[in-house]
Amino acid sequence: MLVSVEGVYRNGRIELTESPNNVPEGACVIVTFVSLNDINLASQGIDREQAKTLRTSLATFSDDWNSPEMSVYDNYDAAKANG
């Protein structure tokens, strides 16, 4: 199961912006620190308004993408090759 949740590092702790669904207490985590400048949408030809529109239009799929059943697609190519 892979679940991504944004957060902020403050005073030696990670503060999550939302509570993850279906994640048991004590679950192992991996934390990756990113700089706000690491994601450059403009270099991909996406301006701020387009990014807002894209985020809004894809939000309807987030529950499906984050559901435990979707983990079957995490290694889709390998599973398909083993057919």
Q: How far apart are CA 83 and CA 79, in angstroms?
A: 6
Residue 31 to residues 5, 9, 34, Cα–Cα distance (Å): 10, 10, 10
What pTM did the predictor assign? Answer: 0.38
Question: With 70 as the cut, is the pLDDT of residue 80 above it?
Answer: yes
Most confident of 11-25, 35-49, 69-83: 11-25
Which DSSP string corresponds to 7-44?
A: EEEETTEEEESSPPTT--TT---------TTS--GGGG
Structural contact between residues 79 and 72, judged by C-beta atoms closer than 8 angstroms: yes
* pLDDT at 22 exceeding the cut of 70: yes
pLDDT in tens, 24-41: 999 898 888 877 666 778
